[in-house]
Structure 1
Amino acid sequence: MNLACTERNLELNTAAKADPAFLADVLAGLSARQKTVPARWLYDHRGSELFEAITALPEYYPTRTERSILERHAKDMAQRVGRGRVVIEFGSGASTKTPLLLSAIEPEAYVPIDVSGEFLHESVQVLARSFPALPVHPVVGDFTKPLQLPRLGRSLRLGFFPGSTIGNFVAPDAVDLLRTMATTLGDAAQLLIGVDRIKEPQVLVPAYDDAAGVTARFNLNLLTRINRELGGTIPVDSFRHRAIWNDHEARIEMHLLAVHDVTFEVADRIFHMRAGETIHTENSIKYGTRDVRVLLRAGGWTPVAEWTDPQRLFSVVLAEATPPRLGP
């Protein structure tokens, strides 16, 4: 057997051991007319590292703006939330903004949830040095699905969903996610959620297509991951990162653009793309104030407070789980 055959067999063997959900999403997405891969698969360990680098870029306003809101209004948030709750963070990443919340509300425990297990445990080790007495229970999992949380006693729960990650989900999926969170958090829960607001494209587009090319590397890393984990043969150099503002849908879209005709395999399936075709990898939907209130109510949450920055670029909203309705 020649070396090429041996390497290909190893790639296919790797694909056979891959995350079945990742494999199913990639094969289905690449078979669609508009090729797509769900954004959650951008976040392997390397993708998570690159995203944290993105949050420090001068063009990327959401992280520093949300952080400034938390710094300015943490005491008010704590008064409304109350002390002693268990904080459940969905998609915790590096948990860089979390200490501001934990310091303000003095929680009973902290449960960070993230799909990247290695990155999650590294982040927890860093956080534990600042909060040595706080019980921390990391959960590796997909927070878009119902999760079995550790035993947390009877303390009420506060969901923390910063970063405007809700914008990665189209409206029906966002509503489903909010309902799933309500189920995960239980009765009398609260949710503190970051939401990016609609603004000028000249502010939005550079935030997702920075001059240093970090977001491009983040997006292209998805192809590298497919090759590594799913036995892919995608020529990564044949693709370019593209970010556009879709005004009709009020969202930034990230795509991977084929710069010329290309043929490749994934898990022994052959795919063809013509020059100019794209793989749609992420949405980042922006909301008006009324829009997000409607979205939260549809997802089973009642907004009770909202904080923003002086330029009104970003909002942090506190909502309470909506009790069952007995009337119209």
Structure 2
Amino acid sequence: MQTSRPHGSDAVIAEISAGLLASNAHTSPKYLYDGLGSKLFEAICELPEYYPTRTEAGIFAAHGEDMARDIGTGTSLIDLGAGNCAKAASLFPLLRPAQYVPVDISRDFLIDSVTRLQQRFPQIDMTPLGLDFSSGFALPDSVRQRRRLFFYPGSSIGNFSPEQAKVFLRGLHANAGDDGGLLIGVDLVKDGAVLDAAYDDAIGVTAAFNLNMLRHVNHLIGADFDVRQWRHHAFFNAAQSRIEMHLEARDVLTVRWPGGERRFARGERIHTEDSYKYTRQSFVGLLEQAGFATNRVWTDAANWFAVIHARAIPN
């Protein structure tokens, strides 16, 4: 394959290149989510093996009214990693936010989702933000200052290491204001076989999702990855309490891009994503270190997943 013209910014090209050239090659999980990647993740959420989405949805269905009483109405609901906005939209009748601010790195996909959603809920002011929030961000003036509620469902906080998560949560605290808060989904520690199946499904949708990142990287940095030369590999690392996703070279190969190249041995991997799993106590402790006080914790009957409402403690 020949390299092509890069379409990413200089910062994106530098970040991806540095990861590919590291001693243990890696990429950020945010690059899993281009337009096709976002659609593939939607499909993953429908798989029988992928319990987080339906388990979290069950918690919202069983305890949504209780959450609304705890949180109150009229918030500015800031939906991090909003995707198709479906999770937040399911809570609109209960939370009745004054403003909805969906944030997602896949801007075109987000705008399409918000356009459809605005037709269903014309009474809610909607302000979509297409940006990468993983390394911190400042909210624009178009986002109301009062009663900000960050909504971070789906256990996406697990993509950060615990230390990175603490820094990220502190950033949310800095943007929350004196009367703001957080409603967050957290995947809890459970049997490793359940976790392995959730990230390596029988029909290969998760594999397609992971492999699609190579196509996205080709577009961003002008690389010549051949998806057929790689395989998906995922497993639960019990010592680190995390799922790891990798892409593994099927044979010896060389990947080239403008200004760089790397030779991969057969079986060598690119580490594409982590998903850390917490106990209820360990995550509440993390929230406290980041400046939040936990108001309520809701779980499913099997204690596989938790939804937590926390308020920002004023500095």
Instruction: Say whether the 8 Å CA contact 2:8–2:219 is kept in structure 1.
Output: no
Aligned partner of residue 43 in structure 2, secondary structure: helix
1:44 CA drift (Å): 0.8
- Percent identity over paired residues: 40
Match of 1:289 in 2: 280
Gaps of 5+ in 2: none
Q: Which amino acid aligns with 2:156?
A: T
Match of 2:257 in 1: 266
Match of 1:234 in 2: 225
What TM-score results when the alignment is normalised by the length of structure 1?
Answer: 0.92
Match of 1:299 in 2: 290
Instruction: Say whether the 8 Å CA contact 1:74–1:100 is kept in structure 2.
Output: no
1:186 CA drift (Å): 2.0
Instruction: Say whether the 8 Å CA contact 1:71–1:100 is kept in structure 2.
Output: no
Q: Which amino acid aligns with 2:304?
A: L
Q: Which amino acid aligns with 1:95?
A: C
**Distance across 1 between alignment mates of 2:106 and 2:294:** 30
Higher RCO structure (Cα 8 Å, ≥6 apart): 2
1:156 aligns with 2:147: yes
For residues 160-217 of structure 1, the C-alpha deviation after alignment (integer angstroms, 9 at most, x for no partner) is 0000000000012111110111122222211000000000111111111011111101
Instruction: Say whether the 8 Å CA contact 1:300–1:322 is kept in structure 2.
Output: yes
For residues 47-96 of structure 1, the C-alpha deviation after alignment (integer angstroms, 9 at most, x for no partner) is 11111111011110000110111111111111111111110111101112
**Distance across 1 between alignment mates of 2:175 and 2:40:** 29
**Distance across 1 between alignment mates of 2:10 and 2:199:** 29
Q: Which amino acid aligns with 1:296?
A: L
Q: Which amino acid aligns with 1:141?
A: L
Match of 2:268 in 1: 277
1:150 CA drift (Å): 4.0
- Aligned match for 2:206, one of 206, 215, 239: 215
Match of 1:197 in 2: 188
Matches for 1:142-181 after TM superposition, within 5 Å: 142-144=132-134, 145-181=136-172
For residues 229-263 of structure 1, the C-alpha deviation after alignment (integer angstroms, 9 at most, x for no partner) is 21111122111000011000000000001111111
1:271 CA drift (Å): 0.4
**Distance across 1 between alignment mates of 2:190 and 2:123:** 42
Match of 2:12 in 1: 22
Out of 280-289 and 124-133, give the one that drifted further. 124-133
What TM-score results when the alignment is normalised by the length of structure 2?
Answer: 0.96
Match of 1:48 in 2: 38
Question: Looking at CA atoms only, which structure, 1 or 2, has the larger radius of gyration?
Answer: 1
Instruction: Say whether the 8 Å CA contact 1:84–1:155 is kept in structure 2.
Output: no
**Distance across 2 between alignment mates of 1:39 and 1:21:** 16
Q: Which amino acid aligns with 1:200?
A: D
CA separation of 1:68/1:140 partners in 2, compared to 1, >3 Å: closer, same or farther? same
Gaps of 5+ in 1: none
1:151 CA drift (Å): 2.5
Instruction: Say whether the 8 Å CA contact 2:80–2:152 is kept in structure 1.
Output: yes
Aligned partner of residue 102 in structure 1, secondary structure: helix
Instruction: Say whether the 8 Å CA contact 1:139–1:149 is kept in structure 2.
Output: no
- Aligned match for 2:56, one of 66, 69, 72: 66
| Runs of 4+ that moved beyond 4 A | none
**Distance across 1 between alignment mates of 2:119 and 2:58:** 23
**Distance across 1 between alignment mates of 2:145 and 2:103:** 20
